[in-house]
Amino acid sequence: MSDEKVVVIEENLKQTYILRAEVAEHNKPEDMWIIINNHVYDLTKFQKRHPGGKAVLNEVAGNDGTVNWILAGHSPKAQEQMKEYLIAEVDPNEKTISENPMHKGDFSKIFPYLSATFFFIFLYFCVINTDFHLENKSDIWGLIFGIGPSLFLIIAGFKLWPGRHFRTHRIGGLLFLFQYALSWYFYFTDYQWYKNSFLVWSLVLNGCLQATSAIIQIGPTLEKTDKGEYFGNKHATVSLDFVTENLFYQILTTFSTLYYYPQFYNALRSNLFGKAIEIIFVFLPYLVIRPFFPKTKLRDAINQDSTVSTTDHRFFFILSNWAIKIFVLGGKHYIGLMTNTVRYLGGLSSLEDEKLLHFLMLANAGTVTISTFLHTLKFKNQLSPKVSMSVYLMFLYTPLIAIIQLVPRCYPYWKMFIIFTLGLFINFTDKVFIQSWTLVVTAWFVSYQNGLIPEAKDLIF
pLDDT digits (tens, 9 = 90+) for 147-158: 888 888 888 878
On whether the CB atoms of residues 367 and 396 are closer than 8 A, the answer is yes
First and final CA of the chain: distance in angstroms? Answer: 84
285 CB burial (10 A radius; 0-12, 13-18, 19+)? buried
138, pLDDT greater than 60: no
Mind listing the pLDDT tens digit for each residue in 436-455? 999 998 988 888 887 777 66
The mean pLDDT of the chain is 77
Query: Tell me, what's the pLDDT at 1?
Result: 40
The mean-pLDDT minimum among 32-41, 92-101, 154-163, 322-331 falls in 92-101
Query: Tell me, what's the pLDDT at 67?
Result: 66
What is d(CA 353, CA 68) in angstroms, rounded to the nearest whole number?
51
* Number of C-beta neighbours around residue 217 at 10 A: 15
6-94 is classed CATH 3.30.450.20: no
72, pLDDT greater than 70: no
354-366 as b/e: b if 16+ CB within 10 A: bbbbbbbbbbbbb
What confidence category does residue 82 fall into, taking pLDDT thresholds of 50, 70 and 90?
A: confident
Mind listing the pLDDT tens digit for each residue in 284-340? 999 999 999 988 776 666 565 566 666 666 777 777 778 888 888 888 888 888 888
What is d(CA 325, CA 248) in angstroms, rounded to the nearest whole number?
17
- Is pTM, for the whole model, over 0.85? no
Query: Tell me, what's the pLDDT at 92?
Result: 76
Mind listing the pLDDT tens digit for each residue in 200-248? 889 999 999 999 988 888 888 777 877 777 776 666 677 888 889 889 9
Return contacts of 443-448, CB within 8 angstroms, 24+ apart: 445/283, 445/341, 445/344, 445/345, 446/279, 446/283, 448/345
What confidence category does residue 106 fall into, taking pLDDT thresholds of 50, 70 and 90?
A: low
Query: Tell me, what's the pLDDT at 13?
Result: 42
Contacts of 23 (CB under 8 A, 6+ apart): 33, 34, 35, 40, 62, 63, 90
Query: Tell me, what's the pLDDT at 399?
Result: 81
Decide which of 284 and 87 is more confident: 284
- In the chain, where the domains are located: 6-94, 101-460
